[in-house]
Structure 1
């Protein structure tokens, strides 16, 4: 059992002893109650003993249950591979609104956050906050050998599918400035996200000219995928590789100042996408409307479907984690077949 005794010139009470439950025991080294009032010290000792008995009875779950969501956020930010800049910003918003709420009821905390902050946000944006919050709680649970939780996803329809004809594709690529054209060629024929392309390196972990393969680090979904290099991509990368001295490391793509592009996934920059301005100018030159830089990814996936590539293969090559994210392109295949069948006479 725990005991208290007065010590020191200030007359503070100190607590020490042990707490036992069955054959389990926790030894408590002497510590100060911080009070010279006997009733206050006794109350603190009783609370501390109850906490230790719960720990003996329920294990790590008892300690976690006493924590708050801020503890989970700290665990998430301190993991070996920290999240990207955008998710760090989301953690900040979550912490500001529900950081002090008990971690034992994450679903109630999530509902509170949706009511106080996410009103008016589009469903896809809300679901990203949900995924980050769930990940943070589960990282914390894993550290304490507890079962993961699952918060029901927010259904949303992300059906934008925008692609160009081959003629428009080539006209638009030719409308970019020369140092940007190789980047866009990779987007059009390999389908990576923009920052995945901008940060790609030479060598076996990136662009491997000798093997005609590209290893794409789809960091948004923590997926690294090696895919065959399209011949159009090889045709624009080979001269760059030779001009740089056939390197085995370093960035493939450099900006007009000869420097690597800043990784906005790590540190956001004013204006966002570093290709946004060049893309807008190229679209104006090529007379292409309603086509974003990210739409090159839709363009690639759509043309993969029209070429007869199955959705599972597209999912793996494009670095999507679930088939649900690529099912939107199935309708492209149906429309393409309808156009083809109507050509019969």
Structure 2
């Protein structure tokens, strides 16, 4: 099988750089090369670059996509991931740059070895969950590149970690904690306890049909983690708290429901260049200290809500839809929080 080199070069432009174009044929296969600049007016240097290009193309025709991958580095995979659509989460962008610093120049064909090198050099002090986040991200970067070049999927063994935290309060602790918040945070905590939204879903809630609809008694969350908007009925305690706010502000039909201590809307941390942080963490810690509640984070309000839904006999599918989880697997952890609510169901059997 004879290969024919048909690349040629010519000088062009004010800089008189050499431009390369043509095609390479191998048997019944060929690849066309659109004219591009070698970036140099030196004939010998341009000829060297043209020869490299010819070699690259012959390997591509002979070995297919693997030839391209054999020359790629981890940086190529990182770049492919960062330039994909939709754009990655900003925290993942930061993680990619950390990996780039440590293993960016490693060959992509040795991605598994690169991962172990990065883990040994950088991740030994990280919790298993944090290590696994890097693992899944590196795997995603490689697979974006592989998919683009029609290469088989790449998989790294997951790092086991406990992601089954379940924390809920008694009714007495719940009410005592809510009352311990400062005035402007107390309504937010009430919503956490009785509706279970994610923090920014609650903080970015607006008045009216597009959010807290006081006429219909519903809450609409347009922007969610899963990308699926949802509407839920207001719990009576939430409706009572929101109605007081609504009336105090003259019955508004727009604007944010919850305001910070400066009477301004809370920053939507999802839109920050580097996402993260919770605007009410400080107020939450102070309230927990006042109420004598230990080991309870802001996000644990979501665990609390889901756990009490289970104990109230609400089925997991309904909890999944009310809470905006993407799959039933995400709420199955709550199924075992308490079995007393199942007694009535069992006794129905005849």
- Residues 215 and 226 in structure 1, CA contact (< 8 A), matched pair in contact too: yes
CA-CA distance at 1:33 after TM superposition: 7.0
Change (3 A) 1:245 1:319: same
TM-score, with structure 2 as normaliser: 0.79
2:6 to 2, 5, 19: 2
Unaligned stretches of 5+ residues in structure 2: none
Structure 2 CA distance for aligned equivalents of residues 222 and 280 of structure 1: 30
TM-score, with structure 1 as normaliser: 0.80
Structure 1 CA distance for aligned equivalents of residues 246 and 263 of structure 2: 14
2:204 matched to which residue of 1? 199
Name the SS of the counterpart of 1:128 in structure 2. helix
- Residues 19 and 53 in structure 1, CA contact (< 8 A), matched pair in contact too: yes
Query: When the two structures are aligned, how many residues end up with a matched partner?
Result: 339
CA RMSD, Structure 1 to Structure 2 (Å): 3.8
CA-CA distance at 1:303 after TM superposition: 0.3
1:46 and 2:47 correspond? no
Structure 2 CA distance for aligned equivalents of residues 120 and 112 of structure 1: 14
Structure 1 CA distance for aligned equivalents of residues 31 and 273 of structure 2: 51
2:118 to 113, 116, 125: 113
Structure 2 CA distance for aligned equivalents of residues 33 and 81 of structure 1: 33
- Residues 78 and 142 in structure 2, CA contact (< 8 A), matched pair in contact too: yes
1:73 and 2:93 correspond? no
1:174 to 159, 175, 179: 179
1:135 to 114, 129, 140: 140
2:309 to 297, 304, 307: 304
Structure 1 CA distance for aligned equivalents of residues 15 and 82 of structure 2: 41
Structure 2 CA distance for aligned equivalents of residues 11 and 242 of structure 1: 75
Change (3 A) 1:28 1:264: closer
Change (3 A) 1:84 1:270: closer
CA-CA distance at 1:309 after TM superposition: 2.0
Structure 2 CA distance for aligned equivalents of residues 318 and 101 of structure 1: 43
CA-CA distance at 1:188 after TM superposition: 0.6
- Residues 110 and 130 in structure 1, CA contact (< 8 A), matched pair in contact too: yes
CA-CA distance at 1:194 after TM superposition: 2.0
Change (3 A) 1:263 1:5: closer
Unaligned stretches of 5+ residues in structure 1: none
2:32 matched to which residue of 1? 26
Give per-residue Cα distances to partners, 1:108-154, cap 9 Å, x unaligned.
33333222211121111112222333334444455566665443322
Change (3 A) 1:105 1:287: same
CA-CA distance at 1:305 after TM superposition: 1.1
Name the SS of the counterpart of 1:227 in structure 2. strand
- Residues 15 and 33 in structure 1, CA contact (< 8 A), matched pair in contact too: no
Change (3 A) 1:30 1:295: closer
1:295 matched to which residue of 2? 300
Name the SS of the counterpart of 2:255 in structure 1. coil
Structure 2 CA distance for aligned equivalents of residues 174 and 158 of structure 1: 30
Change (3 A) 1:115 1:166: same
Change (3 A) 1:281 1:214: same
